[in-house]
């Protein structure tokens, strides 16, 4: 197929068009709005058959999604920042009910002060809600992750968040190659919900009162579901590659194999970091980038394997975790490496509220961590690009 010039939001909307979910409840919020503009046009033009429900809030959007999903529908939605925060209560309920759905989260900073630009505080804030999460570097990945995520969610019986950077990815236009409509349809097949509520001959109870005598067992079972989702990720990725010829992986190794120092990052920052790696590799420096694509379930074992033996690792978090020891990605990666080799590892919090991260800044990280191969790390958690 020929590449088309599409924004990240249009790429996501095109994935939704091809998936053609039964129900899409949505409420507009910048920068998610462009996805719903494009999808609503598909609805108005009659090129999709699903029902777009215009609800009165994100709380209602997720509630309607849960209701429709429980009835047996294939469900999708999209949101950003404060919209996701307002959904929160039902976000937790969707995963606890083991309800598959696919939601695009266009990453945007949480208020206050109010800011519409990119950081990961919204989706990182719900890292413990039991949703699976992938982060996309660019428009092509955003498109592919959506199609992958829908099937992954249905196989794992868990909801899936597809995160893309607000404005940087959602509004940036790039060439995107879409798969054939028929291939996407065949890849997904028909959704079969367990015990759909519309199956009136086999009635079940959803969300009953569950106190000290059963709640813990239900949470333990949910936890196991997330654990098993790691294996399912690889299965669906294999199927995806066989169908579309495109690789979905837990992470992308960019010159990491022989690297002594490695930056670990997610999303659009990785595109900038790759340019820096290319530049510094020409100079003969043994540096690399590990782009993490799957954040939940957290691939601790796989990260341990790929980062084993590295001298210094810098983890980039586009999110602050107030009062914690570093950002969420840093603390989880550091914890994953605890039992094996212990490379030196430090954290850079960057890009909050859409603050620019450029090649020079990433190069400065490599300069700094290369020094740590011999020198001690002074500050484990640093703020990159903030005015002192």
Partner 1 sequence: MKKPGWKELPDGGRIIKAGNADEYNTGDWRTFRPMWDQGKCTHCMICWITCPDSSIHAKDGKRLETDLDHCKGCGICAEICPTKCITMKKESDFI
Q: Which residues bind partner 1 (CB under 8 A)?
A: 96-99, 157, 194-195, 202-208, 210, 213-214, 216-218, 220-222, 224-225
Longest dimension (CA), the chain: 70
Q: Is 60 within 8 Å of 25 (Cβ atoms)?
A: yes
Q: Considering the complex, what minimum distance in angstroms separates the CB of residue 291 from partner 1?
A: 32
Q: Is 162 within 8 Å of 136 (Cβ atoms)?
A: yes
Q: Considering the complex, what minimum distance in angstroms separates the CB of residue 208 from partner 1?
A: 6
How far apart CA 327 and CA 377 sit, in angstroms, is 17
C-beta of 156 vs 314, nearer to partner 1: 156
Q: Is 178 within 8 Å of 2 (Cβ atoms)?
A: no
How far apart CA 236 and CA 160 sit, in angstroms, is 14
The pair of structure tokens assigned to 127 is: 């890292």
The pair of structure tokens assigned to 274 is: 């790759």
How far apart CA 335 and CA 338 sit, in angstroms, is 5
The pair of structure tokens assigned to 75 is: 């469900």
Q: Considering the complex, what minimum distance in angstroms separates the CB of residue 90 from partner 1?
A: 14
What are residue 294's DSSP bridge partners? 134
C-beta of 194 vs 356, nearer to partner 1: 194
Q: Considering the complex, what minimum distance in angstroms separates the CB of residue 13 from partner 1?
A: 30
Q: Nearest 5 degrees, angle CA 260-CA 313-CA 282?
A: 45
C-beta of 6 vs 99, nearer to partner 1: 99
C-beta of 91 vs 147, nearer to partner 1: 91
DSSP 3-state of 4: strand
Q: Considering the complex, what minimum distance in angstroms separates the CB of residue 69 from partner 1?
A: 11
Instruction: Tell me the residue length of the chain.
Output: 388
C-beta of 1 vs 211, nearer to partner 1: 211
C-beta of 218 vs 371, nearer to partner 1: 218
Q: Considering the complex, what minimum distance in angstroms separates the CB of residue 305 from partner 1?
A: 29
Question: What sign does the CA torsion over 245, 249, 255, 258 have?
Answer: negative
Using alpha carbons, list the distances in angstroms from residue 228 to 158, 188, 206, 249.
Answer: 11, 20, 23, 16
How far apart CA 161 and CA 277 sit, in angstroms, is 29
C-beta of 63 vs 272, nearer to partner 1: 63
C-beta of 130 vs 327, nearer to partner 1: 130
Q: Considering the complex, what minimum distance in angstroms separates the CB of residue 98 from partner 1?
A: 4
Q: Considering the complex, what minimum distance in angstroms separates the CB of residue 97 from partner 1?
A: 4
């Amino acid at each position: 197929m020929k590449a088309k010039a599409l924004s990240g939001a249009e790429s996501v909307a095109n994935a939704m068009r091809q998936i053609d979910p039964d129900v899409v409840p949505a409420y507009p919020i910048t920068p998610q709005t462009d996805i719903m503009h494009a999808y609503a046009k598909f609805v108005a033009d009659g090129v999709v058959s699903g029902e777009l429900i215009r609800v009165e809030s994100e709380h209602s959007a997720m509630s309607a999604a849960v209701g429709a999903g429980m009835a047996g529908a294939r469900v999708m939605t999209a949101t950003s920042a404060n919209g996701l925060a307002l959904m929160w209560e039902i976000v937790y309920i969707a995963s606890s009910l083991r309800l598959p759905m696919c939601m695009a989260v266009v990453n945007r900073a949480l208020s206050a002060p109010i800011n519409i630009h990119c950081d990961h505080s919204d989706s990182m804030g719900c890292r413990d809600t039991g949703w699976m999460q992938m982060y996309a570097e660019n428009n092509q990945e955003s498109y592919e992750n959506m199609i992958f995520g829908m099937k992954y969610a249905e196989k794992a019986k868990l909801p899936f968040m597809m995160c893309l950077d607000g404005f940087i990815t959602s509004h940036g236009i790039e060439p995107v190659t879409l798969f054939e409509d028929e291939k996407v349809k065949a890849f997904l097949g028909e959704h079969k919900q367990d015990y759909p509520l519309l199956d009136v001959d086999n009635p079940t109870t959803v969300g009953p009162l569950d106190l000290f005598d059963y709640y813990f067992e239900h949470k333990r079972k949910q936890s196991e579901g997330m654990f098993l989702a790691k294996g399912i990720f690889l299965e669906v990725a294999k199927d995806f590659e066989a169908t579309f010829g495109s690789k979905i992986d837990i992470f992308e190794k960019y010159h990491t194999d022989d690297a002594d120092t490695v930056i670990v990052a997610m999303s659009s920052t990785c595109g900038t970091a790759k340019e820096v790696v290319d530049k510094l590799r020409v100079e003969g420096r043994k540096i690399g980038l590990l782009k993490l694509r799957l954040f939940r379930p957290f691939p601790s074992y796989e990260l341990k394997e790929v980062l084993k033996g590295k001298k210094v690792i810098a983890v980039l978090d586009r999110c602050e975790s107030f009062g914690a020891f570093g950002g969420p990605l840093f603390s989880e990666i550091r914890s994953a490496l605890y039992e094996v080799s212990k490379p030196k590892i430090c954290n850079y919090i960057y890009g909050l509220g859409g603050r620019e991260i450029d090649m020079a800044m990433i190069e400065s990280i490599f300069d700094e961590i290369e020094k740590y191969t011999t020198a001690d790390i002074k500050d484990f958690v640093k703020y990159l690009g903030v005015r002192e």
